[in-house]
Amino acid sequence: MNIELTIEYEIFEDEGIRVLSVVDKKKDEVLNMFHDDEAEKIYGILVNME
Say if CB 7 and CB 25 are below 8 A apart. Answer: no
- State pLDDT tens for residues 1-12: 788 999 999 999
| 22: exposed, middle or buried (Cβ count in 10 Å: 0-12, 13-18, 19+) | middle
Q: What is the pairing mode between strands 5-12 and 17-24?
A: antiparallel
pLDDT at 2: 85
pLDDT at 14: 93
Reduced 3-state DSSP string for 13-37? CCCCEEEEEEEECCCCEEEEEEEHH
**Which band of pLDDT confidence, cut at 50, 70 and 90, is reported for residue 50?**
low
Encoded amino acid at 34, one letter: F
